[in-house]
Amino acid sequence: MPNNLAPNNANAAGRLCCSASSLAAKSAILPALKSKLFHPKNYNKGEPIMKTVAVAQMNSTDEIAVNLATLSRQVASAKQQGAQLILLPENCAFMGKHQHQTRDIAEPLGHGRVQIRIADIAAQYGIWILVGGFATMENDKIYQTLLVYDDMGDLVEHYHKRHLFNVTLPNADESYRESDAFDYGDVLKVVKTPVGRVGLAICYDLRFPEHFRALVDFGAEILVLPAAFTYNTGKAHWQPLLQARAIENQCYVLASGQCGRHANGRDTWGHSMILNPWGEIIAQCHDGEDVVTAEVDLVTLYRQRQTFPALTHRR
């Protein structure tokens, strides 16, 4: 990436980040990069390009110990299937009866029994774990946070949810207001992993295409979305939105969802899946708790970006 477009912050783990306030200025000049931003020469030719990834589907409860036991089993299953990275759904550690219960169990970022346990699981199985939508505290604020653990159990990145779910669903007696319990995040994150450069998002972010385009402009090859889509919104919009994000950004998409009925009476859609850059579903969970894997082929991704260069045609 040219120096004048270097992200605001970077570290040895390959982290890229950009504040939302600086995005407009950067996006105005990023299209001029054309094919340079989308070329596989960025990769060490000695490393294999195809990697195995997994998504898990859960029916989380209001009992943390039960959820962590399920999470551990699913991580073990993913590892047995050869996955190097697994995405867990939003609220995988806790799905309470009331929104404020989730806030009440918030842990300081990088500390607390839930985060310690997940770090131990990552180290035990030697796999990257992405845990979506866990309540964390930082700088006197509480966020819905996506936590990224490497295969040594180190917390190498985090992303605070930028778009909070404040809606009343049409034709349904359902109303949600996440901002009553959580603060807004304001930083986009892309993290370098063994399977590729991963752009981070959570649930409701899916409805904001500019979020994902910015992640691609900062080098994302894989987009991840832990979620807890309601049954009604999931049935109507989940798959077409995921396919749109994959197609328009020419990225792999990993989408991990909650499923079934929860302690708060909420029904979630499930249908966790992995999509390729053409928008095709290459793996999908069955009903109920499940884990599926698929191969991420970055050679195919870059070939598509070069032969169908829509990303370089922006004006």
**114-170: per-residue pLDDT in tens?**
999 999 999 999 999 999 889 999 999 999 999 999 999 999 999 999 999 999 988
142 neighbors 135 (Cβ within 8 angstroms): yes
Question: pLDDT at position 118, please?
Answer: 98
Out of 26, 51, 79, 161, pick the active-site residue: 161
Helix (H, G, I), strand (E, B) or coil at 259: strand
Question: pLDDT at position 171, please?
Answer: 76
Give the H or E element holding residue 295. strand 290-297
Question: pLDDT at position 21, please?
Answer: 56
Question: Of how many residues is the chain composed?
Answer: 315
Domain limits, the chain: 13-29+49-308
Other C-beta atoms lying within 10 Å of the C-beta of residue 36: 12
Question: pLDDT at position 48, please?
Answer: 54
Question: pLDDT at position 173, please?
Answer: 79
Please indicate whether residue 289 is annotated as part of the active site.
no
- With a CB cutoff of 8 Å and minimum separation 6, the contacts of 10 are 16, 17
User: Is residue 2 exposed (0-12), middle (13-18) or buried (19+ Cβ within 10 Å)?
Assistant: exposed
The parts of the chain modelled with pLDDT lower than 50 are 1-13, 25, 27-37
Please indicate whether residue 161 is annotated as part of the active site.
yes
Q: How far apart are CA 8 and CA 65, in angstroms?
A: 38
Out of 18, 26, 79, 90, pick the active-site residue: 90
Q: How far apart are CA 125 and CA 76, in angstroms?
A: 7
Q: Where are the alpha helices (DSSP H) in 18-158?
A: 20-27, 64-80, 99-104, 113-125
Q: Nearest CA to 248 among 204, 294, 215?
A: 215
Please indicate whether residue 63 is annotated as part of the active site.
no
Q: Supply angle C-alpha 239, 200, 38, rounded to 5.
A: 90
Out of 17, 18, 92, 203, pick the active-site residue: 203
> Per CATH, the architecture of 13-29+49-308 is what?
4-Layer Sandwich (3.60)
Question: pLDDT at position 39, please?
Answer: 54
48 neighbors 196 (Cβ within 8 angstroms): no
